[in-house]
Amino acid sequence: MSDTTTKPKTTPALKKLYNEQIIAALTKSQSYTNKHQVPKLVKIVLNTGIDADADKNRIADTARDLGLIAGQKPVLTKSKKAISNFKLREGQTVGAFVTLRGDAMWEFLYRLLAVALPTIRDFRGVSPKLDGQGNYNLGITDFTIFPEITVENVKKTMGLDITIVTTAPTDDEGRELLKLLGMPFRRVEQAVQAKPAPQPANAEPAEKKE
């Protein structure tokens, strides 16, 4: 007799953290009066460009690698019109993207924060600037920081644009949400130069010591 018992679904670690701790922390720090006011993640979009001179093999490699990183099959984007200056034909593949929602979104964000970003050499954090609407854009110059990618199989490195969409109405609220989730924002320190104390108008300049 075969065992038809299904294993209980495991809640992603970051989603569990959000539900059990971050909602309460945001409600307190932002003085929310309604649970629907608490910002949450909506989706994460991964996007990469493909060179105009890329052949079918390179396009296939890019789609494969993006799929490995996202855990989901990417969608290829095509040009809507021809641009002769860029040697671009109408209908030519120019990029690929993946939109993550639900548990897949939470699991990718965990891998990004806990595994991928810390492997960047001399990593000092990411920019704390959001887009003005509570969303965050992050550019990755080398996608091999993701453990799903086997470096030996990479023929050409590709950049990756990551957009984290939230329900936060302001950048400050979106930033606080991402900070509590573990986004390693770098500290912005403004150097303050000490100004000399003003001297009375009739004061004589100090003599230089020889």
Domain boundaries, the chain: 41-181
Burial label, 148 (beta-carbon count in 10 A; 0-12, 13-18, 19+): middle
Rounded mean pLDDT, 127-143:
95
Q: Which two tokens stand for residue 191?
A: 């150097």
* The pLDDT of residue 159: 87
Q: Which two tokens stand for residue 74?
A: 């990417």
* The pLDDT of residue 158: 82
Neighbouring residues of 114: CB distance < 8 A, sequence distance ≥ 6: 182
* The pLDDT of residue 193: 46
pLDDT at 62 over 60: yes
Question: Are 35 and 27 in contact, with CB atoms under 8 Å apart?
Answer: yes
Angle at alpha carbon of residue 184, lines to 180 and 181, rounded to 5°: 25
Q: Which two tokens stand for residue 132?
A: 């003005």
Predicted confidence (pLDDT) per residue in 149-196, tens digit? 888 778 777 889 999 999 999 999 999 999 999 999 988 654 344 455
Largest Cα–Cα separation, the chain: 103
What is 41-181's CATH superfamily?
Ribosomal protein L5 (3.30.1440.10)
Closest CA to 111 of 141, 137, 145, 73: 145
Mean pLDDT score across all residues of the chain? 84
Give the Å distances, CA to CA, from 176 to 3, 132, 135. Answer: 46, 14, 11
Predicted confidence (pLDDT) per residue in 109-125, tens digit? 999 999 999 998 888 99
Predicted confidence (pLDDT) per residue in 50-59, tens digit? 876 777 888 8
Please indicate whether residue 206 or residue 65 has the higher confidence score (pLDDT).
Answer: 65
